[in-house]
Every structure is written in C-alpha cells, then in structure tokens.
Amino acid sequence: MCLPFDFDEGSNRLVGARSVRQIRMSQFQCVLSTFYCFAMFLLLAIGGLSTTEKFQASPFFMLNLLACIVRWSNVIGNDAIQIINSFLEFEHSTVKAISSNTGTTPVAKAMKYFIALILISLRIISIMQMTLFLFAPCTVPFIVSMSVECRGIRTGLGPSRWIGHILDTWILSHGCYSAAIPVLFVLCVGIVCFLTYFDVLTSYRRSLRLITFTHMASCIRLYRSIHLLEKSFNAFLMQRILPPFMLTCIGLQIMGLYVCIMHQKDIPIAGLLVFHLLGVDAMICSIFTMASLVHTKSTNVLEMLGRTVAGIGKNRKVVRRELKSLTVMNLKFGSNFIDRETPLNIQSFAWNQTVSLCLIKSGQGIT
C-alpha cells in the first residue's frame, strides 16, 4: 500500500496502481512523512535538547528525511517505473539477442546480495527501534519524546505511549521501503545494468574475427541505445535523487560513527545496535565506486571501437565520423558527474568530519 504502482504478471512490467485507495494511501503516507520530519526538525532546532541528544537524534532524522524526499518521486510522477520498464524492454529486445548471461556476472550477483543485505537490515532496524523503546521510551527525536511526560512537566508514561512507538516504527518502515524503489532498484540496479551492457558490447566486439562495416554499425547502434538509457536515467536521478541521497548518506555515516565511538555508554544496547545497522546501511555510499566505473568503462569502449576502425576496408571515414559523434557516459548529480575520485573524496570527507567531532568532544567536553 505504500507504492502507487503494481507489477503486471502478464506483461512482466510495472504499471500504475488501478486502486484509488492504494494511490490515496501512498499520497497520505508521503504527506504524513513530511509533517513527521518537520516535527523532528523543530524538536532538534528549538526543543531544548543537549548537544549529545542532538547527535543521537540526527541519524534517525536524516534517515526519515531521506526516505521522505526520495519517496515523493513515486507519487508526483511515474518516472521511476518508466526507467525500470525501459531497462527491462532493452534487455528483452536487444541485450538478450547478443548475450544470455547478463544476470550471472559477478557484479550482478554482488548487487543481488547487497540489496538483500540492505532490505534485511531495514527490517532489523524496525525491530531494534521497538526494542529501544522498551528500555528508553523517551529516546529523541521520536513522537513520545515530544510529549509533556518526557519533557519533565509530568512524570510517568502510560500505556498510550505505545501508540506513538508503533506510529514511529510504521512511518520509518513504509518510508524506507517506498524510498527503496528509486534508490535500490533504479540507482543501484541501473548502475549494474550499465556496467553489464558495456561488458556485453565488449564481448560482442571481441567475438568478431572479421570486422566489417555492418559489424561496426551494430556496435555503434548498441552504444547509442545504451546512451539513450543513460540520458533518461540521469534526467530522473541528477536533481531529485542523487543530491539528497549523497548528502544524507554522508551525514548518516558521520553521525552514526560519531555516536558509536563517543556515546557507547550513553545509549542502551538496543539503540547502539540500531546505530551500527545505520552505519552498515550508510555503506551504500560504496555504490559510488561502481558508479564511477560507468565513466571508466564507457571511455574504454570508445577507445576499443576507435582502434577497431583501422581494420575496416570500406566506409572507414563514415565510421570515424560516427565514432566522433559518440560521447562518454557518466552518472550526473547536479552539474557534476561521478568519476573515480568521487568515492574517495566522499569517504575522506566523512572520516575527517568524524575524527574532528571526536577531537572536539574529547578536547572541549561537549555535553
């Protein structure tokens, strides 16, 4: 019910939901998540929390904020399912005609396990969150922590607090699973698809003993088809998904590591496990290492095709002009793109900020 589309078994494609109730429910959940994040922000900004409490609450706020921002892309348009369907159609009509082992590459297998690990960890986070409420019901920045009982105005928490705990867990769960469509099944799987397509193109070229104009035309046509997918892929991700995803993952990694290092004794064991799992989920930043390979492999493919032109007898000039019109592919965020230095810069920034916060805490005694 948290997604406004379904899987059509007849066509093996994603289609918009036909149930008005399902569409309205997904829209309601998006609006609810927005107000929920706004309430969290007000608590962090003007709630009178100590610095330690703000650091402990920040990872939960950033996780909910990322889910809130990304999941809106499922409601305001059908770009996500169009991109997924485009990849499915391209593989069915083009790639399988050249190669039949696109889903068995080491990169594809690694991505399957990676996505399974993330989905399992999201379930465990929800369980650990409820366990945390058993030992520390006033944990910030959740709903019960905003009540007058937890703010010290009154003492004692009644059974009604479980309504707030269940609502907290429900909002986080459906938010993360809804956001998983653009992040896991568009961004992560899309990157693996591009890398696989480049491998297919390279294998096809190497399987040809005698290179003719027709063979080169087929390689160029396949590269241009992949480029069309890359254009629609970037149009969806570069403005709405990648910028908040990068910023939030970096923030989660910084805050999660800082809390695990400096506040182990201040948090119940269930809460500390949640922070460890958030740190594991923040490892999804490693996807940028694979994203940088799109730029690298695209460059290698163009260089390979350029060297192949020398073996063509007729129409060599035509092929050279065709190759000059091809451009290198890459994944864009804003006005920049991800290259091989981007993952290292992200991790260096995250570790530097974590160490700086730990040194400030140790040297100045933040409370």
Average pLDDT (299-316) is 80
The tens digit of pLDDT for each residue in 142-176 reads: 888 887 767 654 455 667 788 888 899 899 888 88
Residue 45 has pLDDT above 70, yes or no: yes
Contact between 124 and 277 under an 8 Å Cβ cutoff? The reply is yes
Q: Which residue has the higher pLDDT, 44 or 365?
A: 44
Write phi, then psi, for 7 (nearest 5 degrees).
Answer: -100, 125
Average pLDDT (189-210) is 85
Residue 38 has pLDDT above 90, yes or no: yes
Q: Would you say the C-alpha torsion 213, 214, 215, 219 has a positive or negative sign? A: positive
- Percentage above 70 pLDDT, the chain: 87
Mean pLDDT (the chain) is: 82
Residue 364 has pLDDT above 80, yes or no: no
Confidence label for 252 from pLDDT (cuts 50, 70 and 90)? confident
Average pLDDT (83-109) is 78
Average pLDDT (339-367) is 79
**pLDDT value for 366:** 47
Cα distances (Å, whole numbers) of residue 15 to 78, 254, 291: 9, 38, 28
CA separation for the pair 125, 274 (Å, rounded): 6
CA separation for the pair 74, 168 (Å, rounded): 21
Cα distances (Å, whole numbers) of residue 354 to 4, 41, 290, 350, 360: 38, 22, 24, 6, 10
CA separation for the pair 104, 353 (Å, rounded): 39
Of 31-40, 115-124, 242-251, 272-281, the range with the highest mean pLDDT is 31-40
The tens digit of pLDDT for each residue in 230-250 reads: 999 998 888 788 888 888 888
Contact between 245 and 66 under an 8 Å Cβ cutoff? The reply is yes
